[in-house]
Amino acid sequence: MGRLGAPELILILAIALVIFGPSKLPEIGKSLGKALGEFKSQANKVTEEFTEDKKEA
């Protein structure tokens, strides 16, 4: 599976616009960004804990 280019991203955005409408897209983007930020935060915590445990052993 290759990387997403500009044409693919435009197509995805157009489909999302048709499905959700223009008023819902900012809300969906905000919640998606918040979820990704939380996921990254938790992933970093797990990585730090694993590294600390590995140093102690």
Domain range list for the chain? 22-57
pLDDT classification of 56: cutoffs 50, 70, 90: confident
For the whole prediction, is pTM greater than 0.75? no
Banded pLDDT at 42 (limits 50, 70, 90): very high
Residue 20: CB partners within 8 Å, gap ≥ 6? 28
Q: Which pLDDT tens digit goes with each residue over 6-41?
A: 999 899 989 999 998 989 988 988 999 999 999 999
Tokens linked to 24: 């819902």
28, HSE (Cβ side, Cα atoms, 13 Å):
10
In contact, 25 and 16? CB cutoff 8 Å: yes
